[in-house]
Structure 1
Amino acid sequence: MNEVNKAEFWDTLYKINSVGWDLKTPTPAFLDLFKSDYFKEKSKLLITGCGYGYDAVAAAKSNFDVTAIDFSETAIQFAESLAKKENVKINFLVNDFFLLDENYFQSYEIIFDYVTFCAIDPARRKEYANKIFQLLKPTGIFAIILFPIEKRIGGPPFAIDVDEATKLFSDKLELILSTDNINSIKPRKGRELLQLYRKSNG
C-alpha cells in the first residue's frame, strides 16, 4: 500500500505510459460544469491529481484561474507542454497534495477531483477530505466524480463506497448534488457518480 504514497510509484507509471485511467481528453462531465450555475461567478480552480493536464487546459481556455497539482514530475512536464501548445497560463505544482500548507488554505473557489480520491491510500481518505476543506474558500465548491463505485479488491484504483464517501465529505461540507446522470465515457457508464459539495460561509 505504501507505494501509492510515493511520487516515484506514480512517476514510473507515467514514464512507462501505464496510465489506464487517462482519457487523453478533458473529462466530459467536468466540461458540462463550466457553464453551470454551480461554477457561475467562480474563477480560482484547483485540480487535484491533474495528470497530463487535459482538464486543466480546458478549464484555462474557459477563463478559469487554474492551479493543477500532481505527484508526478513526468505528468506535469507533459501538462506544461500541452498548456504552452494551447497558449494558456496554468499554475502547475509538482507536489504531494497532502503537503499543501497554510499558504494554500482558503485559496480556491472550486476544487475538482477525478480519479484522485480512488488512487490514494484508502486509509488517508479522511485526511484527504480535511485537506479539501482547508483549501476551499467559504462558499467554495468541491466537485468530485466518484469512480469506481463497485466492489473490487485491491487497487489503485481502490473501490469507492458512495455512502462512505458521502459521509466523509459531508462531515464539513454540504452535499448539494449527487447524480449518476452524467456524461460518462462508455466503459465507465454506471460505475461513477458526480457529487458537488459546498463549504459554508461561516
Structure 2
Amino acid sequence: MKKKNNLNGSYWENRYKMEQTGWDIGLPSTPIKTYIDQLKDKTISILIPGAGNSYEAEYLWLNGFKNVCVVDIAKRPLDNLKKRTPNFPSDQILHQDFFTLNNAFDLIIEQTFFCALHPNYRKDYVDKMHELLKPTGKVTGLFFNFELSEFGPPFGGNKKEYLSLFNKKFNIDILEPSINSIKQRKGKELFFIFEKKPNGTNKEYNIKS
C-alpha cells in the first residue's frame, strides 16, 4: 500500500495556526507526569517526538532534567516552548522530521505522536524507536485505546495490535489501561513501558487480546 504523506509539516503548522489542537490539554498528561515523578536519575537523555507544545518537556526541564530533546515538524509549538522556558537550550529543540533523527536516548516519551501518524507508518515508527534507543533504553507513554479508523488524526488502535507491532523489537514491561487519565480520555488510553531488545533477540511476548 502506498504511504500517505499529507500529514506533513504544512498540515500541522496550519492546525496550530488555526488553533485546531484538540489533542493539546495545556499541561503534562497525568500518567506521564506520574511516571516522570518516580524517575531518580536526572542525567538520562530523553526524547519527546512530535512534541507539540511540549508541556512534558517543560515539566522535565523545570524539575532538573536538563538532557531533554524535543522534535516536531511544526515550528510554531516549538516556539511556544521556547517562550515559556527561555533557558531551554535551542539545540535541544529540533524542528525536523522525527524519522531523520540520528541521536541516541535512554528514554523516549510517547504522547499523541503515534496516533497522529498515518497507520501505514507504524512499522517505521517501531523501527525508528528501536534505532534511537540506547541498548537498555525504554519508550513509555500513552496509546489510544479505541477502534482504528482510516480517518484521522487521531488514529486509534488496541492492545493486541500494539503488541503485534512492538513485540519483536521490545520487551513488553507494561501495556495496560491507564488508571489516571484525564477526565476527557478516561477509558480511552493504554499506559505502556517497552524496553528495547538487543538486536537478534527472538523471545516474544505471548500476545493476547
**TM-score, with structure 2 as normaliser:** 0.86
Contact 1:83/1:89 (CA < 8 Å) preserved in 2? no
Equivalent in 132, 143, 147 of residue 151 of structure 1: 147
Contact 2:46/2:108 (CA < 8 Å) preserved in 1? yes
State the aligned residue count. Answer: 192
Equivalent in 103, 114, 118 of residue 117 of structure 1: 114
The letter for the 2-side match of 1:31 is K
Contact 1:139/1:199 (CA < 8 Å) preserved in 2? yes
Of 151-160 and 45-54, more deviation after overlay is shown by: 151-160
1:61 Cα offset (Å): 1.6
The answer to whether the aligner puts 1:2 opposite 2:5 as a matched pair is: yes
Q: Distance in 2 between matches of 1:186 and 1:180?
A: 14
1:67 Cα offset (Å): 0.1
Instruction: Please state which structure has a larger fraction of its residues in helix.
Output: 1
Q: Distance in 2 between matches of 1:171 and 1:63?
A: 34
User: Aligned residue for 1:77?
Assistant: 79
Q: Distance in 2 between matches of 1:134 and 1:2?
A: 22
Q: Distance in 1 between matches of 2:138 and 2:84?
A: 26
Contact 2:71/2:95 (CA < 8 Å) preserved in 1? yes
Change (3 A) 1:120 1:81: same
Identity %: 31
Q: Residues 83-122 of structure 1 correspond to what in structure 2 (within 5 A)?
A: 83-84=85-86, 87-89=87-89, 91-101=92-102, 104=103, 107-122=104-119
Contact 2:136/2:196 (CA < 8 Å) preserved in 1? yes
1:2 Cα offset (Å): 2.7
Q: Residues 15-94 of structure 1 correspond to what in structure 2 (within 5 A)?
A: 15-36=17-38, 39-41=39-41, 43-64=44-65, 65-84=67-86, 87-89=87-89, 91-94=92-95
User: Aligned residue for 2:126?
Assistant: 129
Q: Secondary structure at the match of 2:114?
A: coil
The answer to whether the aligner puts 1:184 opposite 2:187 as a matched pair is: no
Q: Distance in 1 between matches of 2:152 and 2:198?
A: 37
Contact 1:43/1:63 (CA < 8 Å) preserved in 2? no
Q: Distance in 1 between matches of 2:197 and 2:117?
A: 26
User: Which ranges in structure 1 are unaligned for 5 or more consecutive residues?
Assistant: none
Q: Deviations over 1:31-64 (max 9, x none)?
A: 101233xx44361100011101211110112222
The letter for the 1-side match of 2:187 is G
Q: Distance in 2 between matches of 1:59 and 1:132?
A: 20
Contact 1:118/1:158 (CA < 8 Å) preserved in 2? yes
User: Aligned residue for 2:139?
Assistant: 142
Q: Secondary structure at the match of 2:68?
A: strand
Over aligned residues, Cα RMSD in angstroms? Answer: 1.7
User: Which ranges in structure 2 are unaligned for 5 or more consecutive residues?
Assistant: 200-209
1:152 Cα offset (Å): 5.3
Q: Distance in 2 between matches of 1:80 and 1:99?
A: 22
**TM-score, with structure 1 as normaliser:** 0.89
